[in-house]
Structures are given as structure tokens and as C-alpha cells.
Amino acid sequence: MKNIFITGSSRGLGLEFTRQYLEKGETVLASCRNPDSAKELQELKHKYPVTLQIFKLDVTKEDERNKIFKEVKMNVSNIDILINNAGIVSGDEKKSSVLGEIYKEDFGKVFLVNSMAPLLMSEKFLPLLEKSDNAKIANITSLTGSIAKRNVGGKYSYASSKAALNMITKILSNDLRDKGITTLAIHPGWIFTDMGGPNAPQQKEEPISMIIDLVERTEISDSGKFLDWQGNELPW
């Protein structure tokens, strides 16, 4: 049985990661900003009262990161997989930044959530990851963050935050390789969720299942790679 820590677990991809890992019999430490209002997550708690633990966490807040680390440390001896899934499209979570409507506040919030928080979470939980025999960090990124593939305008803050996350993942992999911790940037595809929107061509079940299998089979030699949900390596 593995211990899986997931951020942004109240909906979308994070909720689906939580559901599928629980079905596999793993222990899931699920975190989100407002657990009490996360209806589907609470329903999973009723179904898996022992193997699902839910924590309140805003990944941007240092005091909450510190608090949750202490709480998790009291409940488990190690973390086997850290999935940095929490993310936002723009500063107000409703619209993307476009030329003519660029605000530094938007960039600051998007970078804090999408780029900096995964690094800060990885740093905070490193002592528990180091106690695993085969620890993995999966940073959920996006093809939107590929500079080589970018051929449209718009989404300045979101696209650049994911490009930054890709770089952070690469650097982190260099720091953690000698510790035996595999660090990956994974593009889940364009998925039908609140964040992905109604035009997304994929439902979440299959891509998330494929990512879970992908994370399971990757090795330290894969650390630092930018992969899609099928395991294909993507251009930076």
C-alpha cells in the first residue's frame, strides 16, 4: 500500500486521481482549499473512511503548508507519490489573460499557484519523500507550457506559468536524482473539467488511469522528463 498526497483534490483531475488511487487500495492524503464544501470528496470519505484522509490546504499559504506537513507526518511515516495538481487558469479563475488586459496581479497569483507552489510543496514534503523506497513527484503541467509547440496568442499568464513549472521540474530532478526521487512534468491532455471547459475532447477517467500507470512504471532515468499522459516525451 502506497501513500499518495494530492493537491487540488476537490474536483476535476485531483478528484479523479483520488478516486482511482483509492480503488487501487492505496492510502490517499487529499488536500483542497475548502474540504467542507467538497461534496464528492466527502462522499469518497464515507466510502473509504480508513484509506482517505482529507486536509485543508491553500498551496499558496506558508502557514497552511507548514501545518499540513505536521498533520501528515503524524499520520504516515512516508510519502510515496506527491501529485502537484492544484492549478488555476488566471488570477480570477474565470478568464485568461489576453493582450490589452494584462495585469501584474494576475501573473503573480497564477505563478504562485501553478509554478511556485509545486516547488514549495516538494521542498516541504521532501523529508517524507526521502523515507520512501521509490518516491515520485508528478507535477501536472500542460502542453500550453511548451515553447516549441506554442503557435497561438493569449493565455500569457497560464502558458508562461506552465513553462516555468516545466523548468522547475527539470531543475528539481537534478537536485533530487541522487536521493532516488523521480520528478516528472506530465501533460494530462485536454480534459472535460471545470478548468478544461466544455469543448475538451477527453473525459477524465482514461487519461488519469494512464497517468497513474505511467507514474508507476517510470524510473529514476526518466526523472526530469516532460511527458504526456501516454508517456510520449514532449518538446520544451
**Spatial strand order in the sheet of 52-56:** 52-56, 27-32, 3-6, 81-84, 136-140, 182-187, 226-228
What pLDDT score was predicted for residue 118?
Answer: 98
The residue written with cell numbers 499568464 in the block is 157
227-234: long-range contacts at Cβ-Cβ below 8 A with a sequence spacing of 24 or more?
227/184, 227/185, 227/186, 227/187, 228/143, 228/186, 228/187, 228/188, 228/189, 229/186, 229/187, 229/188, 229/189, 234/143, 234/146, 234/149, 234/187
Secondary structure tally for the chain: helices H, strands E: 8, 7
Let me know if residue 138 belongs to a domain. Answer: yes
Q: How much of the chain, in percent, has pLDDT values that exceed 70?
A: 91
What pLDDT score was predicted for residue 100?
Answer: 82
| Residue range 33-50, pLDDT digits in tens | 999 999 999 999 999 999
- Rounded to 5 degrees, φ, ψ at 67 are -65, -45
Let me know if residue 217 belongs to a domain. Answer: yes
What pLDDT score was predicted for residue 206?
Answer: 85
Q: Between 100 and 133, whose confidence is greater? A: 133
Domain that includes residue 15, residue range: 3-228
What pLDDT score was predicted for residue 196?
Answer: 47
Let me know if residue 166 belongs to a domain. Answer: yes
pLDDT above 60: residue 128 = yes
Let me know if residue 235 belongs to a domain. Answer: no
What pLDDT score was predicted for residue 201?
Answer: 47
The 8-class DSSP code of residue 179 comes to G
Confidence tier at 101 by pLDDT (50, 70, 90): confident
Let me know if residue 233 belongs to a domain. Answer: no
| Residue range 160-213, pLDDT digits in tens | 999 999 999 999 999 999 999 999 999 997 554 554 445 544 666 888 999 999
Let me know if residue 37 belongs to a domain. Answer: yes
Q: How many separate domains does the chain show?
A: 1
Cβ contact 204:193 at 8 Å: yes
Q: What is the CATH number of the domain that holds 155?
A: 3.40.50.720
pTM of the model: 0.92
What pLDDT score was predicted for residue 93?
Answer: 52
Let me know if residue 65 belongs to a domain. Answer: yes
Confidence tier at 89 by pLDDT (50, 70, 90): confident
Let me know if residue 234 belongs to a domain. Answer: no
First to last CA, the chain: 34
Q: Between 126 and 203, whose confidence is greater? A: 126
What pLDDT score was predicted for residue 97?
Answer: 66
